[in-house]
Amino acid sequence: MTTLEQVEKLRTMANISYDEAKSALDATNGDLLDAIIYLEKQGKVNAPNGGGYYNSEKTSDSRAVTGKETCWEKQHKHCDSGTSFISLVKKFGGFCMKLIRKGNANSFEVLKGEESKAAAPVTGFALLLIFAPWITIPLIIIGLFFGFRYRFNGPDFKDNTVNDAMNSAADAAVNLKKSMEK
């Protein structure tokens, strides 16, 4: 049974008369979507731009067919191209896991002279710098003035550019300490 609300809704959506809306709804047993498709087949309603989500042609497997891809196919390809939200989260998680593995394979060492006094994974050191920088950074600077040196050790620190910079900072602290004593 077709209601006045359905007729009014179809009439405003399809920009057709009450009689056309009523006959389309009666022909489709009150189904609004089928009524729009019915009107599209009759040429009273234009198909949406870009193919839309529905179409009047059916295939043997009941999927809508257009000259373009269906919405589901676009979404599926979108997921396969690696740009969906879930794939981005997976990529970010993989990146984080790779970073944690590298951080755990390398270490941050505290040296007094040539003797190693303490060592911790780079991951732990990075977490301290992120969550407690007001404690970590002053302790590192104070340690420089007490003769401690710092270095990174591990498979990813073959080139000594980072360690050279840290040695330069330690040398600068020693020179500053000497100049203050004079």
Specify if 147 maps to a domain. yes
Q: State how far the Cα of 127 lies from the Cα of 122, in Å rounded to an integer.
A: 9
* pLDDT 10s digits, 51-91: 555 555 554 444 444 445 555 455 555 444 546 889 899 99
Residue-number span of the structural domain to which 34 is assigned: 4-46
* Structure letter (DSSP) for residue 48: P
Q: What is the mean pLDDT of residues 150-160?
A: 85
Q: Which helix (H) or strand (E) holds 87?
A: helix 85-105
| Amino acid of residue 172 | A
pTM of the model: 0.49
Q: To 5 degrees, how large is the angle CA 22–CA 26–CA 28?
A: 120
Residue 26 lies in a domain: yes
Question: CA-CA distance, 126 to 152, in Å (whole number)?
Answer: 12
Tens digits of residue pLDDT in 75-134: 555 444 546 889 899 999 999 999 999 999 999 999 998 899 999 999 999 999 999 999
- CATH code of the domain covering residue 22: 1.10.8
Q: Is 99 inside any structural domain? A: no
The answer to whether the beta carbons of residues 117 and 108 sit under 8 Å apart is no
Residues 6 or more apart in contact with residue 11 via CB below 8 angstroms: 17, 18, 20, 21
Angle at the Cα of 162 (from 160 to 165), degrees rounded to 5?
A: 105
Overall number of domains in the chain: 2
